[in-house]
Chains A and B, each alone.
Chain A
Amino acid sequence: MALELKDVAKIAHLARLQVTDAEIPAVTQRLSTILELIEQLQAAPTDGIEPMAHPTDAVQRLRPDVVTETDRRNDYQRIAPAVEDGLYLVPKVIE
């Protein structure tokens, strides 16, 4: 399936990746090559086959409801790009 330029712009936006207009044709071409490879899947006979999400058949283990964490805000915020008064700063969020 051929990918169109506008598809790439759309998924780049969904993924919040800056791809400039100048880059889009080359990116589209490369992604199309990968999609061609992926297209081989369509020929596989998978009627009645259960999708496999995990390599093991195990079920989720449940954790006892216990508080195990202490406040390590200073450690964690030391590596943050922008903080003030204990808050992470980002450009204004508009609702």
Chain B
Amino acid sequence: MQWETVIGLEVHVQLSTQSKIFSGSRNAFGAEPNTQASLIDLGMPGVLPVLNQDAVHKAIKFGLGINAEIAPRSVFARKNYFYPDLPKGYQISQYELPIVGKGFVDITLEDGTVKRIGVTRAHLEEDAGKSLHEDFHGQSGIDLNRAGTPLLEIVSEPDMRSAEEAVAYLKAIHSIIRYLDISDGNMAEGSMRCDCNVSVRLKGEEKFGTRREVKNVNSFRFVEKAINVEAQWQIDELESGRKIQQCTVLYDSAKNETRAMRSKEEANDYRYFPDPDLLPVEITENMINTMRATLPELPAQKIERFMGELELSEYDARVLAADRAVADYFEQVVKESGAKPKQAANWVSGDLLGALNKNDLSIEQSPVSAAQLAGLIKRIVDNTISGKIAKQVFEELWSNGGTADSIIESKGLKQETDTGAIEAIVDQVIASSPDQVAQYLAADEIKRKKLIGYFVGQIMKLSKGKANPQLVNDILAKKLI
């Protein structure tokens, strides 16, 4: 039987505001427990919420970023349920009238095809606190610092058909929120969290199968694994003649399996109703236009410009535009080095990103700044050093800092461009390699191209890599006749 997996994602993004969505508490990760929980966050008797303007602005920006309708009037509703990390016994969320309506995100699949994924809606809500399960004499500890952190919940259409598509969509959302600077998107710290709705059906079937929701998957890799393992589990169940029960499951990354949650298993009845403490949010055309004017160039536009104006390959353009910080880094390198964009692209996407990945660092944590890298490439462009020596300088910059110029100077890496000095070395190599010279002279054009490598290698070795390769080639060509 041919099965097809159907996936929809609910992505929760913590907005990077200074204060919380309904209170003036600091919105920051990692503080001592409950030191960022104010009267409002604690749900004390008599307190009232007031909506943070910046949370609204960030939601509007996101809406514009995914080509969505922004609701002129949206309403906050209470979602009622009891849980110790939910201080008021209800979460302030949006239900019938979310702030962001239908939009879409285009993703590019491995074979290069572009697929459009629908976004059903995105709404503002408050985050809950955290239950810590370390043992407090058989009890759990509750930290409400996170309670009231502004969240944007982004709900996709069930448009994805594989874990790869889901990851591509999630990466596209990640890229957009980072570009818009509305969240740091840090999945490890929970700034971006993902619930995956997964179902399977026979290929060709129009009706969706019963879905199970995989809660709170916290990395791109786990999203891929969780969806695959969940889809396979469902296929196995169906093939064994069992039915899928709609429920919420957790992904256990250690065992690479999904399992139904024990709590919250009762059919939830959230009793949504408009929050009487908050009035309808009105968003004017004027406010939308103001926000539109602040929008940066988004990934799709950037890729287009990199391919057009900068003549990069599509692959390079995508790699460099995926993250706003990487793209900014790259553009600074191009500007300051005076190099051709392709050359700068090779350094950034190859050497730099390679080293960052190897060391598990983000671009913000890079030991080599864009200015430092530009300083290095500048010296390749003006022939002060060769590309090969440049790699050596890069390693030095990475480990010990400094500038390319100071490293070139102190290590004496400056390229040899004195024709006389290079001629002397060329003569020395020709003189000590009579057999190779004879072989070379007897060979045809095609073979000669291969054989000349030997001479270049020897010359570079003797010059400690500093001889200008172009000059070496020119002189060799003249002498080997």
The residues of A with any CB-CB pair to B shorter than 8 Å are 14, 16, 53-54, 56, 58-69, 71-73, 76-77, 82, 84-95
Contact = CB atoms under 8 A, between A and B. Distances in A.
A91 B140 contact: yes
A87 B53 contact: no
B145 to A, nearest CB: 10
Interface stretch (B279-287, B342-350, B417-425, B462-470): B279-287
Given A53-B276, A68-B24, A63 B35 contact: no
Interface residues of B, number: 54
B139 A91 contact: yes
Contacts of A76: 34, 37, 39, 42, 44
Interface in B35-59: 35-39, 42, 44, 50-56
Contacts of B279: 54, 56, 58-61
B142 A87 contact: yes
A73 B33 CA distance: 9
B238 interface: no
Interface on chain A toward B: helix, strand, loop, or mixed SS?
loop
B449 interface: no
B319 interface: no
Contacts of B315: none
B25 interface: yes
Given A60-B51, A65-B54, A92-B133, A85 B33 contact: yes
B91 interface: no
B281 A60 contact: yes
Interface centre among A54, A59, A85, A93 (most CB of B within 10 A): A93
Interface stretch (B113-121, B168-176, B261-269): B261-269
9 A-B pairs with least C-beta separation: A68-B24, A87-B141, A65-B54, A62-B53, A59-B282, A69-B38, A88-B142, A86-B33, A60-B279
Contact of A87 (B24, B33, B280): B33
B152 to A, nearest CB: 15
B412 interface: no
B276 A54 contact: yes
Interface string B255-296: 000000111000001010010101111100000000000000
A90 B82 CA distance: 13
Contact of B25 (A14, A69, A82): A69
A67 B280 contact: no
A50 to B, nearest CB: 12
A76 B263 CA distance: 29
Contacts of A69: 19, 23-26, 36, 38
Given A85-B141, A91-B139, A68 B19 contact: yes
Nearest to B40: A69
Contacts of B281: 59-60
A67 B281 CA distance: 22
B51 A89 contact: no
A16 B82 contact: yes
Nearest to B144: A88
Contacts of B191: none
Given A59-B279, A67-B18, A84-B141, A77 B53 contact: no
Interface centre among B17, B37, B278 (most CB of A within 10 A): B37
A63 B37 contact: no
B131 interface: yes
Given A87-B34, A87-B142, A65 B23 contact: no
Nearest to B58: A65
Interface string B3-16: 00000000000000
9 contacts: A16-B82, A53-B75, A59-B73, A62-B53, A65-B54, A67-B24, A87-B34, A88-B84, A94-B262
Contacts of A89: 136, 139-142
Q: Find the residue from B75, B131, B271, B274 having the highest chain A CB count within 10 A.
A: B131
B139 A65 contact: no
Contact of A72 (B24, B38, B132, B276): B38
A92 to B, nearest CB: 5
A49 B131 CA distance: 44
B250 interface: yes
Nearest to B50: A63
